[in-house]
Amino acid sequence: MQHYDAEFLALLDRYLAGESSAVEAEQVRQWLAADSGNQAILNDVDRIRGVARNRPPATRVDAAWTRAVSELGLDAGMDSAHVSAPTIQPRAHRPAHTETSRRTWTWRAVAASLAVAAVAAIVVTTSRPPTTQPKAEAREFATARGQRLNVQLADGSKLTLGPASRVKVAEDFGASTRELTLVGEAARDLADYQRLTSEGKLGEAGQKLEAEIRHCRACHCLGLSRQASP
């Protein structure tokens, strides 16, 4: 197989999208003319773009699982001895974290993200002005590999925590603070995001991060992207 570097393949991507400059387009045309086999490479890129663009219709895992439970008789046949204890452990009523300990926690999260490429360490801070009130207690939720968890936040919004992820959130999220620390993947409900934005509760950093979180969900399953995007 002939190797082309990322830069050149990205050029072909822009060429096919009609976004290349006149100089770049001419470069591609000359490359095509130089070898009849090059057309096949351009066709490959075109096919990849096409497959990625034409997403299958959305599917709903909850509905599918309900059907599986029904058809396999899992609801009736559940043996409590076989149902393992949940590994998702909300840790409530922890002492309030000092600024230093919060920084340490975040630093550890960042270190973890460097060690594991799939992990992202993110801190959401919205435009709410600083408050002199003492920090509320934080709750931490974590999922094991292969697990997901719906977390109901104190402000009424929901967050779906992806596999092998954890989130730390103030117990009074939405009141004294809108700070949230996430390691891994999570998805915010689109309706929550739109409501918070319309109410002006999300600052620029918050909006940017919310977009990224929603795309984490999108990227986990490209089929959901259109549903999840505004």
Partner 1 sequence: MAFKPNVRETERDSRSEPLNRDDQTLVRRIRAGDVTAFEQLYRDYWNQLYNFAFRYVQSSEEAEDVVQEVFFAVWKGRAEWHITSSLQHYLFVSVRNAAIGRLRRDSTMQRWRQRTVGEDDTRSQEATDALVESADVNADVERALSEMPPKRRAVCALRWIDGLSYAQIAERLGINEKTVENHIGNGLRFMRSRLTQH
> Is residue 1 within the footprint of partner 1 (CB under 8 A)?
yes
Two tokens at 58? 């959305």
Helix (H) / strand (E) containing 29: helix 22-34
Sign of CA dihedral 54, 59, 61, 67: negative
Q: Is 5 in the site for partner 1 (CB under 8 A)?
A: yes
DSSP state of 221: S
State yes or no: residue 219 binds partner 1 (CB under 8 A): yes
Among 148, 157, 160, 176, binds partner 1 (CB under 8 A): 148
* Contact yes or no for 128/177 (Cβ under 8 A): yes
Asked if 35 is part of the footprint of partner 1 (rule: CB under 8 A), the reply reads: no
Q: Is 76 near partner 1 (CB under 8 A)?
A: no
CB of 209 to partner 1, least distance (A): 9
Q: Which is nearer to partner 1, 33 or 96 (CB)?
A: 33
Tokens of 121: 């360490």
The least distance separating partner 1 from the CB of residue 74, rounded to whole angstroms, comes to 5
Q: Is 212 helix (H, G, I), strand (E, B) or coil?
A: helix
Question: Contact at 8 Å (CB) between 169 and 136?
Answer: no
Q: 140 by DSSP, 3-state: which?
A: strand
Binding status of residue 212 toward partner 1 by CB under 8 A = yes
Beta strand ranges found along 93-148 (DSSP E): 121-124, 138-142
Distance between CA 43 and CA 35 in Å, rounded? 14
User: Which positions from 93 through 112 interact with partner 1, judged by CB under 8 A?
Assistant: none
Tell me if 53 contacts partner 1 by CB under 8 A. Answer: yes
Q: Using the rule CB under 8 A, is 224 a contact of partner 1?
A: yes
- Cα–Cα–Cα angle for 188, 190, 194, rounded to 5 degrees: 115
Using CB under 8 A, pick the residue from 21, 30, 59, 125 that binds partner 1. Answer: 59
Q: Which of 29, 35, 70, 78 binds partner 1 (CB under 8 A)?
A: 78
Given the DSSP bridges, would you call strands 149-152 and 158-161 parallel, antiparallel or unpaired? antiparallel
List contacts with partner 1 (CB under 8 A): 1, 3-10, 12-14, 19, 41, 44-45, 47-49, 51-53, 55-57, 59, 61, 64-65, 67-68, 71-72, 74, 77-79, 82-84, 86, 117-118, 120, 145-148, 163, 185, 208, 211-212, 215-216, 218-226, 229
